[in-house]
Amino acid sequence: MKLNNGIISIEIAKHGAELKSAIKNGYEYMWCADEKYWARTSPVLFPFVGKLKDQTYIIDGEKYTMGRHGFARDCDFELMDSTENSATYVLKSNAETLLKYPFEFTLTIKYTIVGSSIKVNWQVKNDSNRVMSFAIGAHPAFNLKEGDNYFRFDTTNDIIYNLADESGLYAKDNKFTLKNDGYVKIENSMFDNDALIIENAQAKEVSLCDSEKRPYVTVKFTAPLFGLWSPTKKNAPFVCVEPWYGRCDAKDFCGELSEREYENNIGAGEIFEAEYEIELL
């Protein structure tokens, strides 16, 4: 599906309801999914964000198995509605998903282009007759400009972040600081230990800036935490800015799914809704 409002054009794939392209003034902002570095562009993370301890989780004492980031990114969505400036995709639970994740659900993802911005709306409806626990997150990858690139946050406070341990799990004591004078230079070594996990709503806007510190793309969100990532030790020509409503397991976590930090728990028939925005500058 392609959308074009005369200012920007975007392309969305049915597989994963994944944003594949975003162009303004002839410039492609989205990573091309070259498998040499990373064979995805902007996967939707659902019903998990990150890795599970031992790749398992527990509901009512029963263990289930799930890979990193859940399964939505690998499913075909149905295009339910489209207009000149929007496209709405739906994924419903089925026999295959119920084996891995024992909840009936409807996941709706709507893309809308407004001016130079792409607005992404998520709706998660619990179609089960019990409380449903889930996480959801974004993972858009943006091409870096030639020369030096910088992060700019909507705060001048230093950014405190955590890194996962060697097994890919959250480590509370693995805490570091990005010194922030308004801009933070993106270094090749910044992601040598995987994603930077930034909690406690420290920022609501993250911009990528060129060598002259001019912003060229901004991600806006209200998520309680977000990640910054590029493939480990590959010097990849892109970086991801990832609003999250959920997180990988802590290395000492051993509880039920509903007890995970940042987990979203909604009752039968209830709807969770969230949105983020990508502004092309």
pLDDT in tens, 223-247: 999 999 999 999 999 999 999 999 9
**Is 130's pLDDT higher than 90?**
yes
Q: Decide if 244 contacts 45 (C-beta within 8 A).
A: yes
Task: Give residue for tokens 């270094």.
Answer: 187
Reported as a pLDDT band with limits 50, 70 and 90, residue 122 is very high
**Is 180's pLDDT higher than 90?**
yes
Mind spelling out the 3-state secondary structure of 127-182? CCCCCEEECEECCCEEECCCCCCEEEECCCCCEEEEEECCCCCEEEEEEEEECCCC
State which residues form the domain around 79.
Answer: 2-280
Reported as a pLDDT band with limits 50, 70 and 90, residue 59 is very high
Task: Give me the pLDDT at residue 245, please.
Answer: 98
**Is 165's pLDDT higher than 90?**
no
Question: Using CA atoms, how far apart are residues 16 and 199, in angstroms rounded to an integer?
Answer: 26
Angle subtended at Cα 209 by Cα 220 and Cα 226, rounded to the nearest 5 degrees: 35
**Is 71's pLDDT higher than 90?**
yes
Reported as a pLDDT band with limits 50, 70 and 90, residue 166 is confident
**Is 167's pLDDT higher than 90?**
no
Task: Give me the pLDDT at residue 40, please.
Answer: 98
Buried b / exposed e along 171-201 (16+ C-beta atoms within 10 A): beeeeeebebeebbebeeebbeebbbbbbee
Buried b / exposed e along 30-61 (16+ C-beta atoms within 10 A): bbebeeebbebbbbbbbbbbbbbbeeebebee
**Is 78's pLDDT higher than 90?**
yes
Task: Give me the pLDDT at residue 175, please.
Answer: 96
Q: Which of 23-37, 119-133, 158-172 has the lowest mean pLDDT?
A: 158-172
Q: What percent of the chain has pLDDT over 70?
A: 100
Q: Decide if 241 contacts 278 (C-beta within 8 A).
A: no
Predicted TM-score (pTM) above 0.95: yes
- Beta bridge partners, 209, equal 150, 215
Per-chain mean pLDDT for the chain: 97
3-state secondary structure of 123: strand
Tally of structural domains, the chain: 1
Reported as a pLDDT band with limits 50, 70 and 90, residue 188 is confident
| Domain CATH code at residue 218 | 2.70.98.10
The mean pLDDT value for 113-131 works out to 98
